[in-house]
Structure 1
């Protein structure tokens, strides 16, 4: 297991790298941001693929992530509007900020 502080630094570096390219290809950025947030959630003990987790202590975290992931999948198929992609990116940004503020 790695040090939580190292994970945090790695996630922040990855996020900043993807965010720098967001204007050029928001659909690709959305997919990468969703991957980063998923790794963060899993490392914090969230079971993102467990339906029971959606009704646990913080169901809004998992539900928000899953909604963004669904938009990611639609964007990859060319079926998501620009507004949907922007909303999903903002939701992921909020989750990212919440998780990084929690600290280990």
Structure 2
């Protein structure tokens, strides 16, 4: 075989290898983007590098594969749905306490599904593999809950927190708890606030009593 032929063959083989490598990378990228959705872009932005971001997401996938996750029994789903109904009712008279209880309820549900709950950031990473679609809801709710403990959250913020918590709660539960429970009742005449329907079903919003105007 002539030297020219050898060079041409080598170049062709190198191009083929490069094409295979690029194809593998693109395939992996598409799988990660499909699995993590918006979380893919967030992690890439946080790490400052697509390669580092994808490395982080691959590590999350490996850790997730080692978890012993388990589905909820019908009894557990009923129990959690009832507990969520209590949170909604409590929100009418004590929004801050209701949001705090919602945070605890979501954490218990996460643990019962088999996820570690020790470190918040690791919890997010573990949840992102199967629950990336509702992860931003969890982040928003957790942030409002923290501000509530510091006395920096308004009632509307707390209402939004409950909506955000419900999104992850329903995702983990496998059904919308609001769809199978009664809405929060109107408070008694002695209370200073009444409830009204919101754009998010099942969450009550407080407003001044019409007789006090």
- TM-score category (smaller protein): 0.7 to 0.9
Aligned twin of 1:96: 169
Q: Which runs of 5+ in 1 are unaligned?
A: none
Distance 1:43 1:24, change over 3 A: same
Q: Which runs of 5+ in 2 are unaligned?
A: 1-69, 176-213
In the alignment, is residue 22 of structure 1 matched against residue 95 of structure 2? Answer: no
For CA contacts below 8 A with separation 6 or more, give which structure has more relative contact order: 1
Give the TM-score normalised by structure 2.
0.41
**Alignment length (residue pairs):** 101
In the alignment, is residue 58 of structure 1 matched against residue 126 of structure 2? Answer: no
Larger Rg: 2
Q: CA deviation at 1:87?
A: 1.1
Aligned-pair Cα RMSD in Å: 2.5
Aligned twin of 1:82: 155
Aligned twin of 2:40: none
Q: Among residues 68, 78, 81, which one is paired with 1:12 in the alignment?
A: 81
**1:53 and 1:59 in contact (8 A); partners too:** no
**2:134 and 2:167 in contact (8 A); partners too:** no
Aligned twin of 2:29: none
**2:102 and 2:165 in contact (8 A); partners too:** yes
Over residues 65-102 of structure 1, what are the superposed CA-to-partner deviations in whole Å (9 max), with x where a residue is unaligned?
23212211211221112222111111112222233236
Distance 1:21 1:6, change over 3 A: same
CA–CA separation in structure 2 for the residues paired with 1:35 and 1:86: 16
**2:137 and 2:167 in contact (8 A); partners too:** no
Give the TM-score normalised by structure 1.
0.75
Q: Secondary structure at the match of 2:91?
A: coil
